[in-house]
Chain A
Amino acid sequence: MSLFSTAKKKFSDYGKLPKSKKLENVITVSSLFFIFKIFFPNVENPVVGAVNEILMFLLLVVWIYFVQDLVHGKANRPMTLVINSGVLITAVYFLMNLFPELFDKVTVTKPPVGEQLILLLLYFGFFIAGVSVFTVLRELFFLKQKKNPKFYYDVLVFFLTAVFLTRLLIVIGIPLLSLVSALYVVVVILFAINSIRVAWIAFLTKKEKMFLLIVSIVLSTVFGLIYSLTSSSTGILNIAMNSFSPGFHSLFNLLMLYGTIAYGVIFLTTLFHLPTAEAFEKKAEEVSSLTDLTNLAANAFDFSELAENLTAHTLQISGADVAWLYVNDEQGWSVAAAQNIGKEEAFILTETVLSGFENKIPESLKILDEKTFKFKSGDSVRSLKFESLILAPLGIHNEINGCLFIGSFNYSYFDEDDRKTIKAFADYAAVSLENSFLIKKSIEKERLEKELDIARDIQHKIIPGILPKLDNLETAASFIPAFEVGGDYYDFYNREDGKITFIIADVSGKGISAAFVMAELKGIFESLASISQSPKEMLVKMNSLLAKSLTEKEFVTATVGTIDTAKGELLIARAGHTPVIIGRKGDVMRLTPAGIGLGMSGNEKFSSVLEEEKFLLQEDDLIFLFTDGVTEAQNKYDDLFGTKRIENILKENAGKLPGEISEIVITEVTLFSKDVPQRDDITFVIFKFKRNNQRK
């Protein structure tokens, strides 16, 4: 047995050699054998016979390994393999019948060189055909086998080798004819066993099976005919082949027998498989349909495309006449896809069908048999008679967001399998629908976040980074933007006459649209402030300029003011904005001159309502400007921070500098709303009038 396993190891090593090396060996050994054959065409002499057989053995080995590599790539197409070997073996059969007188001469005397060469080429042709047929049978044997059947195959190869070697011994003169017969019996039994491995037939389509049925019976017959030609004891071919190589002759005979049996079994198996071919094909199609859909779902952002495929596949599998998918997406209920029926028609039909279910999609799969539905289609009333109509709800997380309808007009019966398949498709549709919504949502979210990034960027560029430095005035400002970008804005302008103009504004709405209005506001403010207009004049112009860019529901509240630090004079106008709070020695007051928000009314009305208020500042007066983000900061009890709390801070910290007060306001607001997310920008500006505070 150790000899056997060493041999096995050697062969398997050889099998791993590259193709080019194998081809090299094939050419070398073939040439050697060819030359040898020209000198010694017959094997009468035991020595010549032995050399002949050893060369033949080598020839078999190198050729089998070479052809195996060639055939292996085609293993997934069994029909191609069968046809190729069929063509080869039929050719062999014709050649054998074409030149009977040629083979005849072999037995008589040494034939002329020309004929001998033709004969040799013919033999070689048989040889290659034999090797190919053997390799193809081997491939078919291993095809679609779940358990590794290598053992059975190895045993067969072992006995075939034994046959060959026994023949070799006979050639040298050892009488072993009875052993050969015994081995023949074993090999034939092994053939029968190995021929049963034909699982691959089940996976063929019905068309392929029909074809295989014809091919296999023809092949089985051809193999049988060749076998009878080469094995009959009186036949010329028998003697002729023996003169080529007795060992190969035996193997060839056996191979023909193997072919007869194997293709016979294939014929019978295919015959028995034919009635179930259609059902098997349908099942295989269902499986591959689901796989296709899964692949689609992984790549489809577009639910409508998926719905189209889903309904088409459902129709194909169930053999029904119409199919449509009724779903609830963000825009409400609609028919996402329909096969063999118009979408609008399907929609009306759906409503008609569902009216029988209290206008709700049933929770489980329902089959309606022999139902006629009358519904309006355009101006006329249509009536559709279904032999069978399936309603398969699309349910996910106990929520039904759609229904798959499959109807047939004449195929009256949906069996249990169809139900299961349709249910699987509906479940599948439910998941994909959910997925496509989630994808849409996440894309939308990403888009909003990008937009907010831009808005925040704009806002940061608009809000001044540096505070004005002026005689007689201490300044502090704070801006805490909300995640959604609230549209708050403040700015200062140092005028040539030594006064300072300031603005604090709040654009309604949030995000990028608010940020754009802010940007526009900044442009307007800077150009108006530079021509030294009064706060009221500025706001009136702002109202008319902004009217063009604000939509109906947008508006801006703003307070514009100037401070004459030399005289200690504050002049303000307020367009709908929060009051200005003045802190004076522990007391507070609100300045709320009349005014409508910007963009809320025409200029005439706006200007007639708008008041300008002059306020004379005293030493250490605090001016507090803010947006509603401060007063509307909420705590977890839904209380608002309110103006009162600001006023209290100003009262209690009258002696402190704006920077210190700013810190206190931020701390208080933060503490107040610590458990609640910030909804709006928190913005405020503080001035303190210090007459004797000379900077320079």
Chain B
Amino acid sequence: MADFTIKSEEINSVNVLSVGGYLDAHTAPQLEQAFDDLLNKKKFKVVVDFENLNYISSAGLGVFMAYIETMRENGGDIKFSNLKSDVYEIFDLLGFPVLYEFFADKEEAIKKFEEQE
């Protein structure tokens, strides 16, 4: 099975999680761990960069739903950037764009956070 990769970095007080590979029920716990780490550090502004992500399953989608409320309650958010068209299609079908903000690249998403301040 294809692997999942995740990288966390902080750019201008916004945390960027760059995900890659396959995000499904088996790899979702890694993403959960990354979100938990951010919560422990009281970091609530998150951009998830999908540049290298090839596939997302319903379990992967569920992870974002699980953390979005906490982030928003603490004045933060989860924003998405750089989605490949077929991955975006999955988010789109589910109605995510109504609930979350999507950006063409992570810089734009970070800029949006800065504007909101």
Contacts and interface: CB of A to CB of B under 8 A. Distances in A.
B6 interface: no
Contacts of A605: 98-99
Contacts of A553: 59, 62-63, 65-66
Contacts of B66: 551-553
26 contacts: A506-B58, A508-B61, A509-B59, A509-B62, A510-B25, A510-B59, A552-B66, A552-B69, A553-B59, A553-B66, A557-B58, A557-B93, A557-B94, A576-B93, A577-B93, A596-B99, A597-B94, A600-B65, A601-B99, A605-B99, A609-B95, A628-B58, A628-B90, A640-B55, A640-B86, A679-B24
Interface of B: 2, 24-25, 54-55, 57-59, 61-63, 65-66, 69, 86, 90, 93-95, 98-99
A609 B98 contact: yes
A595 interface: yes
Contacts of A576: 93-95
Nearest to A679: B24
Task: Report the interface size class on chain A.
Answer: 20 to 34
Contacts of A596: 94-95, 98-99
A638 interface: yes
Interface string A535-558: 000000000000000011111010
A681 to B, nearest CB: 12
A594 interface: yes
Contacts of B61: 508, 555
Interface of A: 506, 508-510, 551-555, 557, 575-579, 592, 594-597, 600-601, 605, 609, 628, 632, 638, 640, 679-680
Contacts of B93: 557, 576-579, 592
Contacts of A609: 95, 98
Contacts of A557: 58, 93-94
Contacts of A551: 66
Contacts of B94: 555, 557, 576, 596-597, 600
A541 B64 CA distance: 24
A601 B99 CA distance: 8
A555 B98 contact: no
Contacts of A510: 25, 59
A609 B99 CA distance: 10
A555 B66 CA distance: 11
A506 B57 CA distance: 12
Contacts of B54: 638
A579 B92 CA distance: 11
Contact of B95 (A509, A595, A632): A595
Contacts of B55: 632, 638, 640
Given A552-B69, A592-B93, A508 B98 contact: no
Nearest to A509: B59
A600 B59 contact: no
A609 B24 CA distance: 27
